[in-house]
Amino acid sequence: MWSQLSSFFASKMDMVSTSDHASVVSMNLFVALLCGCIVIGHLLEENRWMNESITALLIGLSTGIIILLISGGKSSHLLVFSEDLFFIYLLPPIIFNAGFQVKKKQFFRNFITIILFGAVGTLVSFIIISLGSIAIFQKMDIGSLELGDLLAIGAIFAATDSVCTLQVLNQDETPLLYSLVFGEGVVNDATSVVLFNAIQNFDLTHIDHRIAYRIAFQFGGNFLYLFFASTLLGAVTGLLSAYVIKKLYFGRHSTDREVALMMLMAYLSYMLAELFYLSGILTVFFCGIVMSHYTWHNVTESSRVTTKHAFATLSFVAEIFIFLYVGMDALDIEKWRFVSDSPGTSVAVSSILLGLLMVGRALLFSLVFLMNLSKKSNSEKVTFNQQIVIWWAGLMRGAVSVALAYNQFSRSGHTQLRGNAIMITSTITVVLFSTMVFGLLTKPLILFMLPQPKHFTSASTVSDLGSPKSFSLPLLEDRQDSEADLGNDDEEAYPRGTIARPTSLRMLLNAPTHTVHHYWRRFDDYFMRPVFGGRGFVPFVPGSPTEQSTTNLSQRT
């Protein structure tokens, strides 16, 4: 009996060790591919057509083909795509760094327009794609798709991916366009996920016209609740990190604790949102904004440099990881086996989805027209060329669509129904086509629509005073963040430290943005910064350059 037990445990240990070794081999290959993506992306940086996202996608596809050939057609990926891995580990650092590095002045100045594009525009695209799917797919032989599945298709393909466009645009040269594309992308992802979750939570099996309006109002109220609650949670978490670091001041003992606390508090905000069924995307984004305005200024200079590059590096690696991941998983033989008997149907479904999302996206021009009517200054209006770029940026679909498709049409990463397999393969086809074709044409399109001024140097990454994007004052060309973010626009007309006071209600109506900035600056200077720190708070470190500038900075604030 002992011999049987020993042989049993030995066989189990061999299985475990074999499994562990296979995982180690897979991770080694994947890390090597990540390094290859970074190196090749650097070599192709000046290429007219390529960017890092497309490079990672191509490398992922090539690797998938090689693995498919080696395995004899059994497998094409090192790791199985998991929506949990995407939403819990890969997405948070990308969204947080976006909020941490954003130019707050441009973002909040165009906040209403961003909400119009990101929320209303996403709802319009969702309606167009959903109605088109209901009208067309129910007449096609693609398996049994219920109403919830067809509505979920609208939410899946309403999620845009503007990474390829943002990699080409520069927010120093085109601040308005960059803020609109960037802000719409963040709000769009959050809106699409909220729409998707709402569809999954509603019982759509017994629905009629009498309760349709009630469901619409319930959804609208749920969306507003999620938006404001998620934003508030992100702001509170960011303020809590600023207060703790300011009061306890970890830097006098170890800057590592400051960096670790900032990272963990940022991730905690995302996980708290998921715990309370809120939008983690909005929460971690606004947490990044608040932490860049308060927390980042409460730490030592070495911690500022470390956090700036650490957050940017994590975001960069996560983006490359996602595109590499999607590229390899696109050739998963299990999904394509279900549609191998009718490839024409899969191509037709993909083409219909592409047409629907392009039609839904085209309605953006009407939203831009309404937005331009509310702008009195021509400099604040979106030109036709910029409208083309914004429209083009929203044509691409990415990992959010793939993750939502897996969530809706698969069980534990596996697909057992023909209709579900067709929708997953069609989603992957649309993502690959839009990223490869539209992504390859993005840089030439932007160079044609928005020719760069000869005096502009895109190599400079220093753009803001007192924000995580810059540190050196002599290199500054415009001051658009931190202090300027909050309304200090006229440095020449108003000396540093003074704020233009609105003179009448008419000024409030004519220039509401500047007036809101004025009152926010007063509130921020008199109430927020004394409690939570921020710009003007300089941690004292004996013998450091900070010690020498403490007196000057305290006098200026």
- Say if 470 falls within a structural domain: no
Over residues 89-114, mean pLDDT: 87
183-219, pLDDT tens digit by residue?
Answer: 888 888 888 888 888 887 776 666 655 666 776 777 7
State pLDDT tens for residues 461-506: 333 444 565 443 333 333 334 433 433 333 333 444 444 455 444 4
Would 456 be classed as within a structural domain?
no
Rounded to whole angstroms, the Cα distance separating 555 from 551 reads 6
The pLDDT of residue 176: 81
Is the pLDDT score of 384 beyond 70?
yes
Residue 52: CA atoms inside 13 Å, Cβ hemisphere, count? 21
Residue 335: the pLDDT is 74
Q: Is 483 within the bounds of a domain?
A: no
Q: Considering the domain boundaries, does residue 245 fall inside one?
A: yes
Q: What's the pLDDT at 156? A: 93
CATH number of the domain within which 228 lies: 1.20.1530.20
Q: How far is CA 521 from the centre of its chain?
A: 28
Please state, rounded to an integer, the average pLDDT across all residues of the chain: 77
Between 365 and 12, residue with greater pLDDT: 365
Residue 347 located in a structural domain: yes
At 20-47, the pLDDT tens digits run 777 788 888 889 999 999 999 888 877 7
Q: Work out how many domains the chain is built from and give that number.
A: 1
For residue 48, pLDDT beyond 80: no
**Both tokens of residue 11?**
């066989």
Tell whether the torsion through CA atoms of 272, 277, 280 and 284 is positive or negative.
Answer: negative
Give the type of residue at 355: G
| Helix (H) / strand (E) containing 429 | helix 418-433
Length of the chain counted residue by residue: 557
Cα–Cα–Cα angle for 396, 400, 405, nearest 5°? Answer: 105
Q: Is residue 473 part of a domain?
A: no
Query: Residues 122, 293, 226, 94: is their CA dihedral positive or negative?
Result: positive
The more confidently predicted of residues 16 and 240 is 240
Please report the pLDDT score of residue 551 as a whole number: 44
Residue 411 φ/ψ, nearest 5 degrees? -125, 115
In angstroms, the CA 115 to CA 161 distance is 16
- In-domain check, residue 359: yes
Whether the Cβ atoms of residue 538 and residue 549 lie closer than 8 Å to each other: yes
Comparison of pLDDT for 377 and 122, the residue scoring more: 122
User: In terms of residue numbers, what domain contains 46?
Assistant: 29-449
Cα–Cα distance, 439 to 445 (Å, whole number): 10
What whole-number distance in Å separates Cα of residue 304 and Cα of residue 253?
16
